[in-house]
Structure 1
Amino acid sequence: MFIFIGKFLYAIMWLFLLFNLIHPYPKPANIVAYFGLAAFTITHGLQAYMLQSTMTNKEKEDDKFKAFRLFIFGVFESLSWKIKK
């Protein structure tokens, strides 16, 4: 349940940050949202890149969207892998 709530909150946060690109928030809030989006993109992108570089070709074929899910949900996705095993 905790992991589902975390994934849900991450998805809401992504929507909040991406909405700022379409319809910018008032002045101080839009700057915070831009920095938040940059931080999310960089940290989650690095996580996905590290996962992708350590996976074998067989693992990449078995689950094509594993790195994408890690990019979107971050640490909560990796926690769900630990629970499934």
Structure 2
Amino acid sequence: MLTNLGRLLMLCVWAFLLTNLFHPFPKPLKYFIDVALFFMVVMHGLQLVLLKSTQPKDQPLGRLQEAKIFIFGVFELLAWQKKQPPLKKK
């Protein structure tokens, strides 16, 4: 429930940040939103790269899963983690 609310919030944040590209806000706010968009893209990209590097080679992520992780960030990772089977202890 809260994960879905987080996903919705993240979609709203992306929409707000991308709106600035098509209909720029007044000057001081425009630059702040541009920096926030850049930061968001870098952080979500870094998060995806780090996850992909820790994945076992026999369990690659699909393109759809990668896109969802890039868009929703930590909220998608939390949902993805719940779906994973527990690790077997040796």
TM-score by length of structure 1 reads: 0.85
Amino acid at match of 2:28: P
Q: Which runs of 5+ in 1 are unaligned?
A: none
Shift in Å, 1:56: 4.2
Conserved? CA contact 1:17–1:36, under 8 Å: yes
- Structural mapping, 1:22-61, within 5 Å: 22-60=22-60
Shift in Å, 1:46: 0.4
The answer as to 2:78 corresponding to 1:79 is: yes
Shift in Å, 1:37: 0.2
Q: Which residue of 1 aligns with 2:88?
A: none
The answer as to 2:16 corresponding to 1:16 is: yes
Task: Give SS of 1:70's match.
Answer: helix
CA deviations over 1:59-79 (Å, ceiling 9, x no partner): 236x33222111100100011
Q: CA RMSD in A?
A: 1.6
Q: Distance in 2 between matches of 1:71 and 1:64?
A: 10
Greater Rg, structure 1 or structure 2? 2
Shift in Å, 1:31: 1.1
Q: Which runs of 5+ in 2 are unaligned?
A: 85-90
Q: Which residue of 2 aligns with 1:3?
A: 3
Q: Distance in 1 between matches of 2:67 and 2:50?
A: 12
Q: Which runs of 4+ in 1 moved over 6 A?
A: none
TM-score by length of structure 2 reads: 0.81
